[in-house]
Amino acid sequence: MSRYCSEMMKKNRGRGRFFRILAFFVGTAALAGLLFAAARAAPAQPSPRDRIVIGAILDITGQGAARGREARDALFLEEQRINQIRGKSGSAQILLVTIDSAGKPEAAALGVESLASEYGAVAIIGPSDRTSALAAAKVAERAKIPMISLSAPETILRPVRRWVFSTANPVSLASRRTLSHMQAKGYQRAAVLVSDDGFGAEGRENLSEMAPEMGISLLLNSRHRENEHNLLPYLQKAHMRGAEVFVHWAQGPSRLALVRARLALDIRLPIYMALVSVRTINLKNPGRSLEGVVFPASRVLAADLLPKGTPGLKSIQAFRTAFRNRIGHFPDGLSGSAADALRIVEAALEGGSLRRRQVRDSIEKMQPFEGLTGSFYFSKSDHSGLRADSLVMVRIWKGKWTLDKGARKGK
């Protein structure tokens, strides 16, 4: 039986080849007919080749997942809004490709390489983590792809890196805003305490350098462990040395530990805290310990306090409303920075600038660009571009955020 089959196969091998070729052409024609019918039945959708890829590197998982997801939600919201506008004008749609760096610098660096080489992104947004931003910036410079960081450590902004920008508020800007407010209040003797990490070190460096310029003497200039809970000794030293005001530049639980220590000691020493971009300060549990605390905050986060004449106020309110309707809560400062980053890239694409160098050059020439975070004045010597008005000085009073304009003490 097997021998018979073998002989028949040899005899019919030529016929088999003919029928296989015939079947191929018949099948191809049928498939083409089905595709043509489907194209007529459904509206045409842009293929990935017709879209402009913009990359995003965010902490979707890991310790910074909450912040990363806020930024991702803002970017998705902006992607939809921008594509609706571009669709009406017949422009190519943008396609946002997000990579999770999970708070790991090496993952952020690899993400830049992948977005630049495999996905052909014209620009990259993120990361928001300071250490990851540094790692990503090095690769972005090497790959020559525009990167708009959602973190603003001085080391990626000074000196200016040709391909790296930022929409976040730099520590130097927040430090100057804080000292200017203290100066307006008439304070001349201050105590400074920072956390023993990158954020605290950068704050201490800026405060130490700027304070003498503004006529403010630092009677205490110390640092504490990142998770320190006993801050009583620092307050006591500041009080004994005659400090008029106490500046605490840190994030996390040490802020609550400080205000509780002040309440326990019953020392009526005004406290300034570091830049706040996320509503992490719980106003319910600490009670009156937070009363009178002052800090700089981003415009998006403190939108309810902005006066009517604030530039871009309508855009901020529209963004907050759209974000709340879509996500279920109001956005934080990082969300505003993420939305600004995508808006800046989209503005750079106007006029058909699809090459990375053209996008980079267009961003550098934007002056000013009215964003949600503030007015950006980018230039060859400034890749942050933000001014002091991008931050609002907030004072906690009677359990609520209030606008503090910096009237002199006693008035």
Domains of the chain: 48-169+312-387 (3.40.50.2300), 172-306+392-403 (3.40.50.2300)
Torsion of CA 106, 153, 389, 55, to 10 degrees: -20
Measured distance CA(160)–CA(67) in Å, rounded: 26
Measured distance CA(148)–CA(163) in Å, rounded: 9
Among 15-24, 39-48, 328-337, which range has the highest average pLDDT? 328-337
Q: Which two tokens stand for residue 247?
A: 């500046």
User: Could you say which DSSP state residue 189 is in?
Assistant: E
SS3 content of the chain, % helix, strand, coil (to 5): 50, 15, 35
Q: Which two tokens stand for residue 148?
A: 């708009």
Q: Which two tokens stand for residue 217?
A: 């003497």
pLDDT at residue 329 above 80? yes
- β-pair partners for 191: 220, 246
pLDDT at residue number 270: 94
More confident residue, 208 or 410: 208
pLDDT at residue number 8: 36
Closest Cα partner for 152 from 370, 391, 331, 401? 391
In angstroms, the first-to-last Cα distance of the chain is 110
> Exposed/middle/buried for 141, CB within 10 Å: 0-12, 13-18, 19+?
middle
pLDDT at residue number 114: 97
pLDDT at residue number 400: 87
Distances (CA, A) of 259 to 51, 353, 375, 376: 51, 51, 33, 35
Query: What is 149-188 written as a DSSP string?
Result: ES---HHHHTTTPTTEEE-SPPHHHHHHHHHHHHHHHT--
Label the pairing between strands 369-370 and 294-298. Answer: unpaired
Measured distance CA(381)–CA(221) in Å, rounded: 31
Closest Cα partner for 115 from 63, 52, 57? 57
Lowest-confidence region among 17-21, 124-128, 210-214, 301-305:
17-21
Distances (CA, A) of 253 to 250, 256, 298: 9, 5, 20
Q: Mean pLDDT for the chain? A: 85
